Structure 1
């Protein structure tokens, strides 16, 4: 007779816990109650338990959900409209004008839902976002069931959303208050970049982040043009300027950080700054290769992000994880740089640490939330399977992600979205395409 009964049991051919690099559990099961992992069971132990729901994944890898550490979800609606441009040309002459005409509450809500559907289908369970109309992003996260960090963009110049830095900050705090207490939604302060934010505004952000216990999310050292412009305007590199303004701390998630000296890497490590590495976006915009291997060696927490679909053009964290590993190798001419197990950790537990939620998600451990994904390895593309960790990074594709759970709730089952209507998402996207082309 069973001695324990659980709400859910998930049995998988391989379980990658990410608690220790290289460890794979064979034919084990996770027991889940109230959305939390309450037991990890061997095949022998499984005979003594029962469950209301038991899912058998005989040919699958089960692992923590992927954490997208830097994105602009609503920009899925601008996917492919301004490709093959340099960053500032892309922003100033294409993206910002299009956003000025179209970005609204409805644009952000529809674009975010489209992005979340795509992200679920590639194994993402958490998004660290940065955009406008923050309440719309939060509502999308709740509607989809995605763990959502809503980055409140702050700039000095007017957009469709705000007039100046004080206006952006005021709206950010007001909208954050609307969603206080929501488990899946958390707001962050997101000053856009050193070239769009003043010293006074950065100081305000630092003070508010401490007062409100909020993370800070900012583009930093993305291109050499950014670095050189800062030297010309401020007589110092952007990171030095931010350091003098008190921005460097464990609260800061610095997106990109491509162009760093050894001294800057040491400075980042000293102050506990986390970095969101965006390999595909950095390649597509020809920004460069971030020194990930040096950052990891210095003890810096590095996670992985997709950036927005307008500069990637996919929100595919499996692909991004592979690119992160390969770029580290070619950038250092060292084939041992960022091995597969490390790459998985960057895409899961490191992202959770950067967001301050590694006690809840990012690995498979007793007491953590059941943010999980299953990847089907019974395909031609992943046969034979000598090493499931290697296959996740180097061989598997997002089309093999079969199941996704957030807090134990299935948001993708057998490749079908359960919280979102795929046909409706595509119809809304096409409607926006018509509207954008009309203008």
Structure 2
């Protein structure tokens, strides 16, 4: 058994039931679990009394320590196509139609390399748990490819086996060439669950099932996917929903129902379900999601870049909904900065939108931080082991420096300064008791050759003279 003692944090934010913030905070980790949280003086005393000589002591002077951030919606492969469509100002449906054929050139290496690049960026932004939505599997690509990248980096991973089965010839949005038949989809869902899913406490890998959207899969696949997921413990269900007004129109024209009403008709409400975006719910639908414990993942930057709208997060939180944060795909955000996304969520709720005047105090820095920690744990059904720094929980924490240029003058509220000042780079990140970021660097990743290969693959996919994958 190994122990780590992190000491002298300017402030340690626990996010426990009392929202305790500890000046001169410290935390003791045994193997992959938190053993004690207190002031530095008290934990040094505790170690002496218990006869503990830590295997490693990390001096976190000049930092704020927070629970590891939880990113609940992403498309890691999209790091390969940043700025495509977003630079031209396309909205969601036109953006997707532009990108589907480019993404169809991916292969297993492209999925692996892009996942490793995206996850590296996320780790440096404070993310320790990442849920990804991979819904294209061209040229032999598998969910296994991004799982390999996550395992190499040591991130806590919730990959979701996505799917598209409703091509253009059947009235869907994606081209038939990037869709799969539903029998093959369900067979592979069973395979990845039985091969990779770990439902135990402190799990580093849990599989979810995630048909892409109402405009890319059939209602029959939605029902069968839900039935399949519910045969296994802790397999969650995920999809995009109510992201744009165009989607509202599509659902009314195709199903005669609003998006959430359609989800209810196919059995997709409940504690095991979370939707990405939910920009356009009615007040009654917000109440319905709160009552059914259906979660959502707010992706503010993506919604802004694609002009999808502003999700009414203030109303959702007040109604008791489970709300998490996500950076979304790196081609509808072009960034992978989880702390920055929390900042964006705070700012976006303050500016106002039709029917809601701007309020400077509508959403606080600590509320945004809660969405990125406890909110994510609730949505992923992991309140028992992640999202806060408490005894017995998984040892996932991040420290940000607040003694440099960016935070100079922010001494009145160092915790809030993480959100109100420019988002920083993680100085230290520990996941499952292991150091994955040290002094702002990824000690186990050689980034230059990884980025070089990533850009070679991206260039090959963007080439207009071939629809073949990169060699």
Length-normalised TM-score, structure 2: 0.88
1:157–1:165 Cα contact (<8 Å) kept: no
- The 5 Å alignment of 1:264-413 reads 264-331=285-352, 332=356, 333-384=358-409, 385-399=411-425, 401-413=426-438
SS at match of 1:381: coil
Give the distance between the partners of 1:119 and 1:216, measured in 2 at CA. Answer: 23
Stretches of structure 2 that go unaligned for 5 or more consecutive residues are: 48-52, 137-141, 168-175, 465-471
Q: Distance in 2 between matches of 1:160 and 1:428?
A: 26
- The DSSP-based 3-state class of the residue aligned with 1:334 is coil
Does 1:423 pair with 2:427?
Answer: no
Query: How many residues in Structure 1 have an aligned counterpart in Structure 2?
Result: 432
Could you tell me how far 1:162 is from its partner in structure 2?
Answer: 5.6
> Deviation of residue 200 (structure 1)?
1.1
CA distance in 2, matches of 1:163, 1:196: 11
Q: Is 1:115 equivalent to 2:118 in the alignment? A: yes
Task: State the partner residue of 2:268.
Answer: 247
- 2:469 is matched with none
- Structure-1 residue corresponding to 2:247: 226
Q: CA deviation at 1:99?
A: 0.9
Kindly state the Cα deviation for residue 396 of structure 1 after the two structures are TM-superposed: 4.2
Q: What's the CA shift string for 1:313-335, capped at 9, x where partnerless?
A: 10111111011011111134222
2:68 maps to 65
Shift of 1:46: 3.6
Pairwise CA RMSD: 1.7
Answer yes or no: is the 8 Å Cα contact 2:300–2:344 preserved in 1. Answer: yes
Distance 1:9 1:87, change over 3 A: same
Closer, same or farther: CA 395–323 of 1 in aligned 2, 3 Å: same
- In proportion to residue count, which structure has more strand? 1
Whole-angstrom CA distance in 2 between matches of 1:391 and 1:418: 27
Task: Give the CA deviation at 1:24.
Answer: 1.8
Partner secondary structure for residue 351 of structure 2: helix
How far residue 184 of structure 1 moved from its aligned partner, in angstroms, is: 1.3
Determine if the alignment matches structure 1 residue 81 to structure 2 residue 80.
no
- The match for 2:5 is 9
**Whole-Å Cα distance in 2 between the matches of residues 60 and 166 of structure 1?**
51
Q: Paired residue for 1:90?
A: 95
Aligned mates of 1:275, 1:434 — CA distance in 2: 34
Aligned to 1:197: 217
Contact map agreement 1:316 1:398 (CA 8 A) in 2: no
The SS at the match of 1:289 is: coil
**Partner Cα separation in structure 2 for residue 236 and residue 18 of structure 1:** 39
> Take 1:310 and 1:196, find their aligned partners in 2: how far apart are those partners?
19
Distance 1:208 1:434 in 2: 38
2:230 alignment partner in structure 1: 210
Deviations for 1:301-320, whole angstroms, at most 9, x for unmatched residues?
10100001101010111111
Segments of structure 1 that go 5 or more residues without pairing to the other structure are none
Q: Deviation per CA, 1:229-273: give whole Å up to 9, x if none.
A: 211221110111111221111111110000011111111111110
Secondary structure of the corresponding residue to residue 425 of structure 1: helix
Alpha-carbon distance in structure 1 between the residues aligned to 2:75 and 2:240: 12
Report deviation, 1:105. 1.2
In the alignment, is residue 126 of structure 1 matched against residue 129 of structure 2?
A: yes
What TM-score do you get using the length of structure 1 for normalisation?
0.94
1:104–1:161 CA contact under 8 A, matched in 2 = no
Kindly state the Cα deviation for residue 128 of structure 1 after the two structures are TM-superposed.
0.8
Distance 2:68 2:183 in 1: 36
**Alpha-carbon deviation of 1:118?**
0.4
1:164 aligns with 2:181: yes
> What is the rounded CA distance, in whole Å, between the counterparts of 1:127 and 1:47 in structure 2?
33
Q: 8 Å contact 1:141–1:185 — kept in the other structure?
A: no
SS at match of 2:331: helix
SS of the equivalent of 1:194 reads coil
Q: Which deviations, in whole Å up to 9, do the C-alpha atoms of 1:285-307 show, x marking residues without a partner?
A: 00000010111111001010000
**Paired residue secondary structure (1:13):** strand
Deviates most, 317-326 or 13-22: 13-22
2:193 maps to 176
Q: Distance in 2 between matches of 1:257 and 1:47?
A: 47
Q: Report which stretch shifted further, 136-145 or 173-182.
A: 173-182
